[in-house]
Amino acid sequence: MKQLDVRSAAHIDPALDDLRIRPYGITDHDRVHRMSERLSSASLYTRFFSGTPRLPDHYVGLLDGLDHWDRDALVALDGDDIAGIAEYVRDKKRPWRADIAVLVTDPWQRRGLGSVLVGCLTELAGRRGVTEFDADVVLENRPAIRFVHHGWPAARSTTEGGSAHFRLPLAAMAATGTAAAATANPAVRTRSPHWGAERTNS
């Protein structure tokens, strides 16, 4: 998975109260395609590390194939449109670690939505045994780097090829209160019945 693209301020915009956050579902397929209408070329570049005019089809396909355990995603809904997506993919060799990526549409950037989504994803992944996130950030994406240092003050990074790689312990974010503050937002009170549920065999 590529790139953390969280362009949000430290504050939480009261307008987020009108959003609804829930797990991604197959009915969101068309909504994801429509997100391209509200994503600038800069936003797409910082998420996918390439100049693409719209969300790649393979990305939508990956979302449709989520197993909601080792790979999962949360969407923030503004009416019938997706305002943001946060996703994680568990490392098969190190199942306590997972790659994280966040994408927020341009109208909702710098309003705290990225913070809320990461807080929710931290809660969800933590219940499933994940203790560390890995995140890649384009070096020129200063808002995302500031966000990382806000949630993880002790975060250290390595740089390679124009990007910074961060290892982010979930416990460290919890210690700052960022995750708790995010999940206290009214936007996350309407949840799927399967939010954070234990895995079952059917």
196 inside domain: no
- Choose among 111, 121, 125: nearest CA to 188: 121
Residue 154 pLDDT greater than 80, yes or no: no
Among the residue ranges 10-19, 86-95, 117-126, 127-136, the one predicted with the least confidence is 10-19
11 inside domain: yes
At 50, the pLDDT band (50, 70, 90 cuts) reads: low
202 inside domain: no
Say what the pTM is.
0.79
Radius of gyration from C-alpha coordinates of the chain: 15
CATH number of the domain bearing residue 45: 3.40.630.30
Q: What is the pLDDT of residues 158-202, one digit of tens each?
A: 988 888 899 999 987 766 555 544 444 434 333 333 344 444 333
Q: What is the pLDDT of residues 114-146, one digit of tens each?
A: 889 999 999 999 999 999 999 888 888 888 888
197 inside domain: no
Rounded Cα distance between 105 and 121, Å, is 18
> Among residues of the chain, what percentage have pLDDT more than 90?
40
199 inside domain: no
Q: What is the pLDDT of residues 104-115, one digit of tens each?
A: 999 998 888 988
Q: What pLDDT was estimated at residue 11? A: 52
Q: Which amino acid is present at 13?
A: D
Number of domains in the chain: 1
Instruction: Identify the residue whose tokens are 């045994």.
Output: 129
**Residues 6+ away with beta carbon under 8 Å from 45:** 51, 52, 138
Q: What pLDDT was estimated at residue 134? A: 92
On average, the pLDDT of the chain sits at 79
195 inside domain: no
User: Residue 98: which domain range?
Assistant: 4-188
Cα→Cα distances 52→40, 136, 182, Å: 10, 18, 31
193 inside domain: no
Q: Three-state SS string across 134-169, please?
A: EEEEECCCHHHHHHHHHHCCCCCEEEECCEEEEEEE
83 phi and psi angles, rounded to 5 deg: -90, -25
Among the residue ranges 72-81, 102-111, 149-158, the one predicted with the least confidence is 149-158
**Residues 6+ away with beta carbon under 8 Å from 9:** 110, 111, 112, 143
How buried is residue 125: exposed, middle or buried, by Cβ count under 10 Å (0-12/13-18/19+)?
buried
111 inside domain: yes
